[in-house]
Amino acid sequence: MAAAAEGAPAGAGSESSAPPVCVLVLGMAGSGKTTLVQRLTAHLHSQNSPPYVINLDPAVRELPFPANIDIRDTVKYKEVMKQYGLGPNGGIVTSLNLFATRFDQVMKFIEKRQNTSQYVLIDTPGQIEVFTWSASGTIITEALASTFPSVVVYVMDTSRSTSPITFMSNMLYACSILYKTKLPFILAMNKTDIIDHSFAVEWMQDFEIFQDALNQETTYVSNLTRSMSLVLDEFYSSLKVVGVSAVLGTGLDEFFVKVSEAVDEYEREYRPEYERLRKSLAKAQSKQQKEQLERLRKDMGSVAMESNPLADSSDTSALGPSDLIMTRGTLDEEDEERESDTDDIDHQVTEESHEEPAFRNFMQETRMKYQNRSSH
C-alpha cells in the first residue's frame, strides 16, 4: 500500500514544473488498449489529476474517453482511402504519415499543458505493426522521447495467452518493440478479471515450469518455442510486469508504481543518451555550417572595407575578388592600364620598343637597303 501511495499521481492543485510523462499504449488488436486508456483516464480524473489524452487511431468509430487531440479531426480516414485508392491498413498508415507532418504542433500543445497535466496518454491504432514499424510511428515516438519522459506500455491479452506458444509469440513481439523504441517498457497483462496472470509470471520466472507446459505440445513450433525461451531469459529479468483489468479497474495503483519506476529509468539511462545524441547532432550541424561559410568565404573573398578603404588605396594587388568587383570603374587611368588584359600589355611593350635608338637604326638601314634594291 505504501508503494501504491508513492506511485499515485499527484493532484492538479499541486502544480509542478516537472515535464509530463508520455505513456504510449501499444498492443495487438483486441487486447484492450482503448479500454485501458479509458480506465486510466477515469482513474486519473478521480485522483484530481486529469491527463492529456491523444488518440492516434484514425479508424476508430467512437472513443470511450474525451480526447484532447484526435487524429480524426485532422485527417479523414475514409477520404484518404478514396483519394489514394488504399485499403484499410494502407489508409491508416497514410493517415498517420499525414498527421506526423504536423506533430510539431502537438508538441507545442503538450508543452502548454505541462503545468496542469502530469500524464499524457496516447492511444495507438489497433493494427500494432502500423504504428510500430512505420516511419510516422518512429517520428512520433522519438519526438516525444527527446522532449518528455516517455514510457511504452505493451498490453497483452492474458485470456488468449494461456497456450505457451501464443504466450511466446506475445513475448517475442514485446521484445521486438522494446528494442525498436529503446524506451522504458512495461508489460500490462490485461483482462485479469477473466483469468489471473500469475501463470504467465511463473512461466517468465521459472524456465522448468514453462518447459513442462511445452511438453504437452508435440508440434515443430513447440520445439522452436523451447529454443526461444532460453533466449528471452535476459529479457524477462529486466521486464516490468503488472496485471490489470481495464473493465474492473484493478491493478491501476501498481501500474502507476511501475510507470514511476520507468520514469526513473528514463532519467537515469535514456535521457543522458538522448542528450548526447542531441549535442552530437548540434555539433555536426554547427561544423557543417562553418564549413559552408568557409567555402563561401574562399569563393567570394574576404571583404575588408575598413582595413582597405578604396578611396585611399592605390595598390589593388591586396584586394580580394569581391573588392575588385566593387572598384570596377573607379580606378584611375594608370591603374586601369596596369590592370588591363594581355592585349594591352603587349601593346604597351611595343610602343616602348619603338622609342629605343637601336631599333630605329635597324629600321632605317632596312629601309635604305630596300630602296637601293628597287632602284637597280
Q: What is the pLDDT confidence band of residue 207, given thresholds at 50, 70 and 90?
A: confident
Give pLDDT tens digits for 75-84: 999 999 999 9
Q: Is the dihedral of CA 324, 328, 330, 334 positive or negative?
A: positive
Res 330: pLDDT: 45
Are 270 and 182 spatial neighbours (Cβ–Cβ below 8 Å)?
Answer: yes
Residue 342, pLDDT > 50, answer no
Q: Domains plus CATH for the chain?
A: 21-52+117-274 (3.40.50.300)
Residue in this structure with the C-alpha cell 508543452, named with its chain if needed: 111
More confident residue, 352 or 112: 112
Q: Which residues contact 202 (CB under 8 A, 6 or more apart)?
A: 209, 210
Are 185 and 258 spatial neighbours (Cβ–Cβ below 8 Å)?
Answer: no
Res 356: pLDDT: 54
pTM summary value: 0.71
Residue in this structure with the C-alpha cell 635608338, named with its chain if needed: 357
Calculate the alpha carbon distances from 133 to 58, 96, 180, 200 in Å.
17, 12, 8, 27
Give pLDDT tens digits for 218-262: 777 787 787 788 888 878 888 899 999 999 999 999 999 999 999
Helix (H, G, I), strand (E, B) or coil at 160: helix
Give pLDDT tens digits for 46-99: 999 999 999 999 999 899 999 999 999 999 999 999 999 999 889 999 999 999
